[in-house]
Chains A and B, each alone.
Chain A
């Protein structure tokens, strides 16, 4: 046990957590006793298949391994990673719900974990009684809760219902009340695991602001696990990326988010469509996109005022005149942001292939990860109606801000950079 340096609040050394896979125990007491007795005497387990080691048989799953991290006071740590990467395991170890298989955690002060808001609530008790109960579960004394009671009630926005049993609460009110209690706990370390998934947008905003304020003004340490990159970018100032139980990145939030989102799929800057895997069925399938690439680039990352050089190749499955292209842009949640449109780029005969180059101005995008679709279309004769003749999933791109003294854009401010505002007088 080494002492913690003054400004370090959490330090883990060689942390490891293993889980047994499959059925726990062999099912009968007799065989368990047999196995235990053999292990005690250093013999081979009579119930294990001959010639297999514990992990060879796949009995043990390592949820977290060699996990070393040092967290300083006042840091807002985001923890990201795919499902099963070990994020929640780490938080569970830290909040003492389960204990490590090996290694050590040292932390300073109190930890308030909000792994799932409202777990300690009891339906029959009123809101006020539940505040006491939940506060006590989180380690507050009655006197401490009393001192914060008014603040908690005000924050929860449940004043009118505070003396009603919480079983009559809506799920939103439930979450608000629970979060209010946890946020007002005088803990030095706050742990949150996707707690903000519920509750309306306005309240989510309020929670994030509260967490940031606690960290900055009162020097609390916040650990936040989420799959929602925009709240991570919004709240955190340092980020850990976990993958298969190991820490693969520790540093700035933007790089971490880029690494994580990029890590889901390869860093494509060119794509050849060999089959229909990336295509969406259209009614009039008259063209077939065969290739897409960022011309002359070996990255899908664009900075500041960068222009995207897009090269598309397609072949005609029918005679088409005055074909148009639409590049649809979606954000990381696949929510459409905007589309680029260009008409009358080419007319072709059946069987003909063509390659075209385009330039897309990306200066209007805020930093983040974007998905695209390439859609070829033609206009119906005598009307302005658009008929899609090919629909393909496109290359992704990542936009990051220009270097320099720009204010770091927060996702909560919106997803479009506007032409600007000027001071006139």
Chain B
């Protein structure tokens, strides 16, 4: 018999993430990831191969449109790699954001029936997308190695050491924004609609399909204030050696990420207690 006493009352602390409780539910996080994996590819012919086909296909389209047709410069880097670097990281960011932003609405039924730490869902979403991202990243790395061996203009550099931080930052930033959106959508559904096309619009003010160097000098700092921009640019810089590592803007982006995650968790905590009454 367990003897620990739990208290439930109306008061709530501003920032109270029960990490030990989350740890107890780690099996649930893992099972949710597994559920998502099974759900995504059950009854498909190609199964998990889609994880790879997806970025290859969209990168090809980007290459055809932005390189062959529009002729946008890629700082001398092989266009396919250039677009793939941006695309893979962006897809990870967008998936984290979209997944987290539907936490409350998509899970209203199960949240209304049983209690478990609500943060399990966005965390499972990160893990699920991270697995997809890892697979895509390995394909990308293999391609980078092949191109480098062949002697293309590809220069992986020391900045690679920073990529784990960049990847974690991407996940946190996307999820942080998603948590805020998710909390607000329990009351104002408008935001959900805004987010679905807002994310794809955001991609165009982020240097995913063009290099920062193509942005007019006087306008560049505005673009780099977008917290995703320095991440994508630095990520590409690390693998391909193109562009520039804007460390001031990156630190700014890191600070913005921290604020957004903190704020996101506060709002999420506040909403999770009673959202079932309003949703």
B46 at the interface (CB under 8 A from A): no
Q: Which residues of A contact B27 (CB under 8 A)?
A: 132, 136, 140-142
User: Given A24-B278, A25-B187, are A99 and B3 also a contact pair (CB < 8 Å)?
Assistant: no
Q: Are A106 and B274 in contact (CB under 8 A)?
A: no
Q: Are A137 and B277 in contact (CB under 8 A)?
A: no
Q: Are B39 and A122 in contact (CB under 8 A)?
A: yes
Q: Are B114 and A98 in contact (CB under 8 A)?
A: no
Q: How far is the CB of A96 from chain B (nearest CB, A)?
A: 4
B194 at the interface (CB under 8 A from A): no
Q: Main SS of chain A's interface residues?
A: loop
B47 at the interface (CB under 8 A from A): no
A57 at the interface (CB under 8 A from B): no
Q: Are A113 and B115 in contact (CB under 8 A)?
A: yes
Interface positions of B from 1 to 33, Cβ below 8 Å from A? 1-10, 12, 24-25, 27-28, 31-32
Chain B, 88-126, contact with A by CB distance < 8 Å: what is the 0/1 string?
000000000000000000000111111110000000000
Q: Are B8 and A105 in contact (CB under 8 A)?
A: yes
Q: How far is the CB of A249 from chain B (nearest CB, A)?
A: 24
Q: How far is the CB of A121 from chain B (nearest CB, A)?
A: 10
Q: Are A137 and B273 in contact (CB under 8 A)?
A: no
Q: How far is the CB of A395 from chain B (nearest CB, A)?
A: 42
B68 at the interface (CB under 8 A from A): no
Q: Are B10 and A101 in contact (CB under 8 A)?
A: yes
Q: Which residues of B contact A29 (CB under 8 A)?
A: 188
User: Given A97-B113, A119-B110, A119-B114, are A188 and B8 also a contact pair (CB < 8 Å)?
Assistant: no
A108 at the interface (CB under 8 A from B): yes
Measured in the bound complex, the distance between the Cα atoms of B34 and A95 in whole Å is 26
Give 22 pairs: A residue, B residue, CB < 8 Å, sorted on A: A20-B278, A93-B8, A94-B8, A98-B274, A98-B276, A98-B277, A103-B10, A104-B7, A108-B4, A109-B3, A109-B4, A110-B2, A111-B115, A113-B115, A116-B113, A119-B114, A120-B110, A129-B34, A129-B38, A133-B32, A139-B116, A142-B27
Measured in the bound complex, the distance between the Cα atoms of B28 and A410 in whole Å is 40
Q: Are B10 and A20 in contact (CB under 8 A)?
A: no
Q: Are A133 and B35 in contact (CB under 8 A)?
A: yes
Q: Which residues of A contact B7 (CB under 8 A)?
A: 1, 104-106
Q: Are B115 and A97 in contact (CB under 8 A)?
A: yes
Interface positions of B from 167 to 225, Cβ below 8 Å from A? 187-188
Q: How far is the CB of A219 from chain B (nearest CB, A)?
A: 7
Q: Which residues of A contact B115 (CB under 8 A)?
A: 95-97, 111, 113
A102 at the interface (CB under 8 A from B): yes
User: Given A97-B111, A99-B274, are A107 and B5 also a contact pair (CB < 8 Å)?
Assistant: yes
Measured in the bound complex, the distance between the Cα atoms of B1 and A219 in whole Å is 9
Q: How far is the CB of B195 from chain A (nearest CB, A)?
A: 16
Measured in the bound complex, the distance between the Cα atoms of B276 and A92 in whole Å is 10
The total of Cβ contacts below 8 Å across the A-B interface reads 117
A124 at the interface (CB under 8 A from B): yes
Chain B, 32-48, contact with A by CB distance < 8 Å: what is the 0/1 string?
10110011001000000
Q: Which residues of A contact B2 (CB under 8 A)?
A: 108-110, 188
Q: Are B5 and A106 in contact (CB under 8 A)?
A: yes
- A→B interface (CB under 8 Å): 1, 3-4, 19-20, 24-25, 29, 32, 92-111, 113, 115-116, 119-120, 122, 124-125, 129, 132-133, 136-142, 188, 219
Q: Are A120 and B114 in contact (CB under 8 A)?
A: yes
Minimum CB distance partner of B115 in chain A: A96
Q: Which residues of A contact B112 (CB under 8 A)?
A: 97
Measured in the bound complex, the distance between the Cα atoms of B8 and A222 in whole Å is 19
Q: Are B113 and A24 in contact (CB under 8 A)?
A: no
| Candidates B3, B6, B113, B277; contact of A20 at CB < 8 Å | B277
Minimum CB distance partner of B111 in chain A: A97
Q: How far is the CB of B112 from chain A (nearest CB, A)?
A: 6
- Given A104-B7, A124-B39, A133-B31, 18 more A-B residue pairs with CB atoms under 8 Å apart are A3-B5, A4-B5, A19-B277, A25-B278, A96-B115, A98-B277, A100-B8, A100-B9, A103-B9, A103-B10, A108-B2, A109-B1, A109-B2, A109-B3, A113-B114, A125-B38, A136-B27, A138-B114
Q: Are B25 and A96 in contact (CB under 8 A)?
A: no
Q: Which residues of A contact B4 (CB under 8 A)?
A: 108-109
Q: How far is the CB of B14 from chain A (nearest CB, A)?
A: 15
| Candidates B3, B5, B8, B113; contact of A119 at CB < 8 Å | B113
Q: Are B10 and A100 in contact (CB under 8 A)?
A: yes
Q: Are B24 and A141 in contact (CB under 8 A)?
A: yes
Minimum CB distance partner of A143 in chain B: B27
Q: Which residues of A contact B31 (CB under 8 A)?
A: 129, 132-133, 136
Q: How far is the CB of B88 from chain A (nearest CB, A)?
A: 27
User: Given A119-B110, A137-B110, are A96 and B277 also a contact pair (CB < 8 Å)?
Assistant: no
Q: Which residues of B contact A109 (CB under 8 A)?
A: 1-4
Q: Are B8 and A96 in contact (CB under 8 A)?
A: yes
Measured in the bound complex, the distance between the Cα atoms of B25 and A101 in whole Å is 27
Q: Which of A99, A110, A140 has the most CB of B within 10 A?
A: A99
Ordered nearest first, which 8 A-B pairs have the shortest CB separation? Answer: A136-B28, A96-B115, A119-B113, A99-B273, A105-B8, A104-B9, A109-B2, A142-B27
Q: How far is the CB of B257 from chain A (nearest CB, A)?
A: 26
Q: Are A106 and B38 in contact (CB under 8 A)?
A: no
Measured in the bound complex, the distance between the Cα atoms of B162 and A6 in whole Å is 54
| Candidates A19, A93, A110, A137; contact of B28 at CB < 8 Å | A137
Q: Which residues of A contact B111 (CB under 8 A)?
A: 97
Q: Are A115 and B35 in contact (CB under 8 A)?
A: no
Measured in the bound complex, the distance between the Cα atoms of B39 and A141 in whole Å is 22
Minimum CB distance partner of A105 in chain B: B8
Q: Which residues of B contact A4 (CB under 8 A)?
A: 5
Q: Which of B3, B25, B27 has the most CB of A within 10 A?
A: B27
Minimum CB distance partner of B9 in chain A: A104
Q: How far is the CB of A292 from chain B (nearest CB, A)?
A: 47
Q: Which residues of A contact B278 (CB under 8 A)?
A: 20, 24-25
